[in-house]
Amino acid sequence: MPGTPAQLRVLVADGSSLFRDTLREVLRDAADIDVVAVAGSADDAIRLAQQHEPEVAVVDVHLPGDGLHAIRRIHQKTPAVKVVALCGFIDAPSETELRELGVVEYVIKGVPNRKILAAVRRAAEEGATL
């Protein structure tokens, strides 16, 4: 049942409505996850993170309006929210930048759904780090 205390509250933020909707459904199908908000832009992601205070925010680094800015502001304004970054690819400098922004996990777009679910769950765990 959505909203029960045992469920992990998650915000999804991606510029592609298709990817955003698909990810929302994948997460909602998990019994332990409640998608509390969905954003299509950096400003919406920041606002919704403050409004809903999810435990985890899954944010595309290429989110319209600057995904990296959204990640930075979510981390600054709602430091309890753990951020999982969605990336097209990752290299050492990008990983370092994400870590400096406060990201605790990242997921390469196109990985199997089980890996996305695992990253979200790991992010929520106390002490999870990139």
* pLDDT tens digits for range 18-65: 999 999 999 999 999 999 999 999 999 999 999 999 999 999 999 999
Higher per-residue pLDDT: 3 or 29: 29
Please name which of 11, 8, 10 lies closest in space to residue 31, comparing C-alpha atoms: 8
Q: What is the C-alpha separation between 55 and 121, in angstroms, rounded?
A: 10
Higher per-residue pLDDT: 2 or 42: 42
Task: Place 128 in a pLDDT band, splitting at 50, 70 and 90.
Answer: low
Query: What confidence score (pLDDT) does residue 126 get?
Result: 65
Task: Place 118 in a pLDDT band, splitting at 50, 70 and 90.
Answer: very high
For 14-121, strand residue ranges (E) read 33-39, 56-60, 82-87, 103-108
Q: pTM to 2 decimals? A: 0.90
Kind of pairing between the strands at 56-60 and 103-108: unpaired
Other C-beta atoms closer than 10 Å to the C-beta of 98 total 21
Higher per-residue pLDDT: 95 or 44: 44
Query: What confidence score (pLDDT) does residue 1 get?
Result: 45
What rounded mean pLDDT belongs to the chain?
91
Torsion of CA 54, 14, 103, 2, to 10 degrees: 20
